[in-house]
Chains A and B, each alone.
Chain A
Amino acid sequence: MSSLALRKAAPAAGTTPGTAQGPPLRRRIALVPTVTLLIGAIYTLLPVAWVVIASTKSGHELFSTFTFLPGTGFTQNIKDLNAYRGGVYWTWMGNSALYAGLGALLSTAVSAFSGYALATYRFRGRETIFNVLLAGVLMPPVILAVPQYLLLAKANLTDSYLSVLLPQILSPYGVYLARIYSAAAVPADVVEAGRMDGASEWRIFTRIALPMMIPGMVTVFLFQFVAIWNNFLLPFIMLSDDEKFPLTLGLYTLLEQGSNTPALYTLVITGGFLAVLPLIALFLVVQRFWSLDLLSGAVKS
């Protein structure tokens, strides 16, 4: 907030002798914003740094040594995690990848269809359909999840992969983003030209519109991948067989047991550390060709 004070002070400081190095440097870096942001970064990175270090500690070290010093038990912790209930942790990891990967893919497809239709065509009920779909955002998930569970129970589908996969395919936010990207990326005259050439509506969509919408669709995919990967409530309600658990639910049950046996703490911490890695890796890889701003619906003109 006092960056203005700094910038005003900088030229003034330049006139005083003995600060030859200071002024040009200070004029190049706005100190207050930089420091504020660095403090913010420390705050967000601290728990992550802690879990990285804590996962290297043996059970004994965890309770006895200063927790920002690395320990010696990392390989043992990984071995223990592998051994826990026949490696069920990796089943959870695989399940999470399946739910999030397949779910996000289907969700992106549904969002692309809907967003394209809502952006390209003028038809009766367009705004009504859009608003009704969007209203889904407002529904608290637990309020949906309880009746979803009861209805799926009638169809004998609870405690199955489908019970976690199906309810997460339609994403109101995904449809909203897809409409914005489609409206910005697919010019109406290109669609019209395709029609002049006699292409079918489906062909225009797959061959012309979809390639133009790809950057936006990557965003929808990532958004939905993260949402499903991080979801806890739905699997918590739907599943009882821990062979089908995603990571979030598996770690929760591990923690629940760990509260009685602190020996499991190291497993929970190591499991938590490994659970954080895939998404961080995903974002770091994707960051090279994709901008965070797209997540909030930013469209470059």
Chain B
Amino acid sequence: MTSPARRRSYGVKGAPYTFLLPASLLFVLFFALPIGYAVFLSFRKVHVSGLGLGANARSEVWAGFANYTEAFKDSELLHGALRVLGYGCIVVPVMLGLALLFALMLDSEKVRFAPFTRLAVFLPYAIPGVVAALLWGFLYLPSVSPFYYVLAKLHLPQPNLLDGGPLYLALSNIAVWGGTGFNMIVIYTSLRSIPAEVYEAAKLDGATPLQTALKIKIPMVAPSLVLTFFFSIIATLQVFNEPTTLKPLTNSVNTTWSPLMKVYQDAFGRNDIYSAAAESTLIALATLLLSFGFLRAANRRNTRDVSEGDAR
């Protein structure tokens, strides 16, 4: 990267650092500093002396790993994590499966209405998660939903979508609806960058469209599948908006439904920023472990670099 010849030709030493100054400043102020502060707080606690009355009765002291051991023992956090795990096991495969299916269909020969359907499937990307949850929330609500109207007219059983097991499906559906389009575009873009010669060779060999899709297209877009998988895992672990928005419509979503809702509840509902900080740190670590664990596993199978799929 820094061969002598190149270094000489780009002799303007200070310029890149000046160009990077705004980003670096913002990074320090709004990324590094808050993360450092959260980690710091996670090792602190409030010490109450005496009855806790008076101006100096409450003071912040070091807590060691106390907040972390509490977080591990906290059954609410554990249940939230398990709920999100179940939710993620539905969302990620269904969303990426549909995204890959639609991308392959868009890429197939002689498909009609492709520009229209591509835009339509992508449309939910432009709709805020809160509004999406609100739209679907009303469609799940028996008193206003057209689906329930039809079910009632046909005298069919009317499942309660906002409770128990179906609630997972209801929430997953909102995420799948919102996320499929963007992932489809990512996969479709990398499908279109496959050189035409590859297909000609396949055609000469007498490959059917299905064989071409399975044996050539899917392996060729593997890097972009890895990338979409990676981002989907991160997004799933952060689920917050949809269950929060559905909360007013059902009693089955509590204030600690997902780990991030629990963090919010601890920080602002219970005013315990120390526990919230420890929980945040744990979630951040879990996110890093899961996403990098996945990347390593994917890289071992596929030696190509992940970013290569995009940079092409």
Contacts and interface: CB of A to CB of B under 8 A. Distances in A.
Interface in B256-308: 260, 263-264, 267-268, 273, 276-277, 280-281, 283-284, 287-288, 291
Contacts, number: 306
A18 to B, nearest CB: 23
B109 interface: yes
B134 A142 contact: no
Interface in B24-51: 24, 26-27, 29-31, 33-35, 37-38, 41
B120 interface: yes
Interface stretch (A36-44, A74-82, A83-91): A36-44
A167 B136 CA distance: 30
B149 A66 contact: yes
Given A34-B113, A122-B10, A142-B240, A180 B311 contact: yes
A106 to B, nearest CB: 9
B144 interface: yes
Given A38-B113, A54-B138, A143-B284, A136 B185 contact: no
Interface in A25-41: 27-30, 32-34, 36-38, 40-41
A51 B112 CA distance: 27
Contacts of A126: 1, 16
Contacts of A43: 177
Nearest to A137: B234
Nearest to A192: B9
Given A40-B121, A140-B238, A151-B33, A230 B189 contact: no
A192 B11 CA distance: 11
Nearest to A282: B126
Question: Which of A117, A229, A275, A296 has its CB near the most chain B CB atoms (within 10 A)?
Answer: A296
Name which of A45, A114, A120 has the most chain B CB atoms within 10 A of its CB.
Answer: A114
A146 B30 CA distance: 11
Interface residues of B, number: 112
Contacts of A22: none
B131 interface: yes
Contacts of A226: 125-126
A101 interface: no
B69 to A, nearest CB: 20
A122 B11 CA distance: 9
B83 interface: no
A232 B128 contact: yes
B181 to A, nearest CB: 7
B260 A251 contact: no
Contacts of B78: none
10 contacts: A36-B105, A120-B10, A121-B10, A133-B27, A140-B260, A150-B41, A151-B34, A169-B26, A236-B244, A296-B185
